[in-house]
Amino acid sequence: MATTAAVLALIDDPALRDDIDRVAAATGARVVHAHHPSSRTVWVSARAVVLDTPAAGRLCAQALPRRDQVLVVGSAAPDVEDWKAAVAVGAQQVVRLPQQDEVLVDLLAAAAQDHGSTTLHGAVLATLGGCGGAGASLFAAALAQSAPQSLLIDIDPWGGGIDLAMGTENTPGLRWPDLTLRDGRLGFDALHAALPQRRGVTVLSGGRDGGDVEAGPLGAVIDAGRRAGVTVVCDVPRRVSPAAETALESADLVAMVVPADVRSAAAAGALAGWVKTVNPNVGLVVRGPSPGGLRAADIAATVGLPVVATMRPQPGLADALERGGLRMRTRSPLARAANRVMGMLTGQPAS
């Protein structure tokens, strides 16, 4: 569903939908009708969101980030339930149609003027391992280093930690346990200044003490990076959680890293079903060597996903990680695979 520069309308009543179309036409706005937003990106990137009380009730359970230009509309004078729903979903006003047509016209016209400064620009990628120890965290670090400016987010505080992959374990700055965030809009400049940075990458790690990441704050961090125009890379754990689904839903592309062996392919195939229900834009990064001579095409057939990149072993990788974290070399296997995946989003050929 494309909603960029469009009004997203979540309206159950057919007569009220007709009213929305009529009023939006007066402002020259394009309207996309839906039962619910198909992703967090659709929700945040719409010019404005117009919804009724039943839709507001549905959205409250989805932990969507707060955004501007959300309007609750109805055909009767708003009652207590309408106002409760409006507050819960973060709406700025409740409008009665057709009595307040001119109010909605003004609000949609203002949204059209403001939209140019709030459109999301940065790409979001998510990585996860098709099996344990696949190397998804390292690939996430490689993707982040291949972008001119990036935000690398660790969503698995119980794992080894992005700090170790990036070499930022001793770098001053905040980690997830230090942040007190709620779902809502964040400024990236303040976030950037508070977090560790290395090689052009702003790193939000889980630290060393564990603890689950919550979906609301995670969504706010992803949106802050995206609005700032930086590339956001999320290292997603191999377990179902609201935070994992938030990262997958937000991603323009999900890269599943799979070693080229039979057991890893079988494990990845079991995981792929869940991932595809959250985000259909999933591709495999096949990591060699294959002990049994399996080709990338064989892994793709087993898992049921297309191959977006292949990767040979990287000499000296373990030693590099012990001596300050991953450092990308232009022609290294990791750099080539990361550039190929990044090129799919930018439309540029892989170097």
Q: Give 149-159 pLDDT, tens digit per residue.
A: 999 999 986 66
Fold matches, 6-118 and 124-346: yes
- Please give the pLDDT value at position 141: 94
Instruction: Specify the amino acid at residue 10.
Output: L
Is 108's pLDDT higher than 60? yes
Q: Give 41-60 pLDDT, tens digit per residue.
A: 788 778 889 999 899 888 87
> 90-119 b/e with 16+ CB inside 10 Å = b?
bbeebbbbeebeebbbebbeebbeebeeee
What are the backbone dihedrals phi and psi of residue 31, each rounded to the nearest 5 degrees, phi first?
Answer: -115, 135
What token pair was written down for 285? Answer: 């990064």
Please state the rounded mean pLDDT for residues 114-132. Answer: 75
Q: Give 188-228 pLDDT, tens digit per residue.
A: 888 888 899 998 899 999 866 667 899 988 988 998 898 88
Domain locations along the chain: 6-118, 124-346
- Please give the pLDDT value at position 3: 44
CATH number of 6-118: 3.40.50.2300
Q: Give 238-257 pLDDT, tens digit per residue.
A: 989 999 999 999 999 999 99
- Please give the pLDDT value at position 116: 46
Please state the rounded mean pLDDT for residues 224-238. Answer: 92
Please state the rounded mean pLDDT for residues 165-172. Answer: 89
Is 88's pLDDT higher than 90? no
Mean pLDDT estimate for the chain: 84
- Please give the pLDDT value at position 4: 45
- Please give the pLDDT value at position 2: 45
User: For residue 29, which of 142, 105, 125 has the smallest C-alpha distance?
Assistant: 105
Please give the Cα distance from 94 to 19 (Å, whole number). 15
Please state the rounded mean pLDDT for residues 131-150. Answer: 93
Please give the Cα distance from 9 to 3 (Å, whole number). 10
- Please give the pLDDT value at position 246: 93
What class is the 124-346 domain?
alpha beta
- Please give the pLDDT value at position 63: 67
Please state the rounded mean pLDDT for residues 300-325. Answer: 86
Q: Give 318-341 pLDDT, tens digit per residue.
A: 777 777 778 878 789 999 999 999
User: What sections of the chain are H helices per DSSP?
Assistant: 14-27, 40-45, 53-60, 80-89, 101-118, 136-146, 162-166, 188-194, 215-227, 242-250, 262-278, 296-303, 317-322, 333-346
Which range of 62-71, 220-229, 233-242 scores highest in mean pLDDT? It is 233-242
- Please give the pLDDT value at position 151: 97
What are the C-alpha distances in Å from 191 to residues 117, 217, 269? Answer: 19, 12, 37
